[in-house]
Amino acid sequence: MIELLSHRGIRDERVLRAMSVVDRHLFVQEPFINRAYEDSALPIGHSQTISQPYTVAYMTECLEMKEGDKVLEVGTGSGYQAVILAEMGARLFTIERHMGLLTQARKIFDKLGYQIVSKCGDGTIGWKEFAPFDRILVTAGAPEIPQPLLDQLNSGGILVIPIGDLDVQNLHVIKRVNDHFEKRETFGFKFVPLIGRKGWR
């Protein structure tokens, strides 16, 4: 899997290292364990998916995270992306709207010994009590950028979020520079929908 990620253009050694030490098969359901190291998204229940490894690696690279950064992830899902970020030294906060998925992810965080702060709720409004964040990563596709997430981004902070319609999204990488935002986009991703007050209804 790591060779494949390098081959597809992932250059950040810290991302490749984290993805080589975290076992992806621990985060997938029993019937899919033999496909855990393929470059594909897999079902995790509740009509949701664990993102494909390339997408996880690319989004993580886009975050340009530093050790000790306070990071908010919206869309815990299986917990795999959260553990990758924690393994890279993030102080990780993660929100999931399905309690069943969060319960399962929390079991894995505990089993692997990662200190990850999590809650069940609507991540489109961020997590005010712990804001501001150095980095925010949204792992579901939104119709537009939720204003609360921009408001909760530290100066110098980076927000990575897929934006588009329900079929296809572009990955937006937004950097806050004092009171303005610089943006770049990468085209053609496919995420499950971000559902909530500032997402899809």
The binder of ligand SAM chosen from 57, 59, 62, 74 (CB under 6 A): 74
Residue 97 contacts ligand SAM per CB under 6 A: yes
Cβ atoms of 72 and 137 within 8 Å: the answer is: yes
Residue 194 contacts ligand SAM per CB under 6 A: yes
Q: How far apart are CA 132 and CA 151, in angstroms?
A: 8
Cβ atoms of 71 and 135 within 8 Å: the answer is: yes
**Which tokens belong to 63?**
């975050």
Q: 6, 20, 47, 51: which one is catalytic? A: 51
**Nearest-CB residue for ligand SAM:** 77
Residue of 193, 190, 195, 200 lying closest to 54 (CA atoms): 190
Residue 38 contacts ligand SAM per CB under 6 A: no
Residue 81 contacts ligand SAM per CB under 6 A: yes
Provide, rounded to whole angstroms, the least separation between the CB of residue 196 and ligand SAM: 3
Residues 6+ apart with CB under 8 A from 113: none
**Which residues contribute to the site for ligand SAM (CB under 6 A)?**
48-51, 74-75, 77-78, 80-81, 95-98, 101, 122-124, 139-140, 191-192, 194-196, 199
Catalytic residue positions?
Answer: 51
